[in-house]
Structure 1
Amino acid sequence: MNTGLVAATAVLGAGTFAFRLAGPALRSRTTLSARVEQLMSTAVVVLLAALVATSALTEGHGFSGVARTAGVAVGGLFAWRRAPFVVVVLAAAVTAAALRLLGTD
């Protein structure tokens, strides 16, 4: 086994643990203004939306197709209407599957 790979894995694991521990440990020492907290909340939503859009619209270096995009859109609509998570996932899957069955890619 490659010792460099084991060492790199151990260092990355320790770094990840340190970052996760630093949040709660430093939270009491640092105060953020209400504006910064609002911006951070907005940033989380924007980053999550960008991740969903990227996953829904692309596959590799091209367009993922209509079926996946429509499935994600239907799932997003159901989530926005506050449907239970199982219903959201099933609606998205059924939409994508039906469109693929009809021959859309």
Structure 2
Amino acid sequence: MAEFASDTLDQSSSSAPVKYKVVFLGDQSVGKTSIILRFMHDTFDSQYQATIGIDFLSKTMMVDDKMVRLQLWDTAGQERFKSLIPSYIQDSSFAIVCFDITSKAS
């Protein structure tokens, strides 16, 4: 993923978009990146590529007649990156915890 992306709709509204930082958390291989890519680009890549550190994507969209800008933070699930989670979730609006329903350990 490792890219900055922006999908912007008509911003004829005079007010600035409301910004929300959304952090995706969970063990490796649970589907965090897949969920984000499906939402951003309506695609699914069946080949697994681990996120290293963190990836960040952004999407601006209309929600209930208001412009909303979502900052989507895709965190790495590997054990060596777990110590970074507190700094990622700082100032976040939402945290989405992802897990694998076939793995109790996740």
> Which range, TM-score by smaller chain?
under 0.3
Question: Larger C-alpha radius of gyration, 1 or 2?
Answer: 1
Compute the TM-score of the two structures, normalised by the length of structure 1: 0.21
Greater RCO (CA < 8 Å, at least 6 residues apart): 2
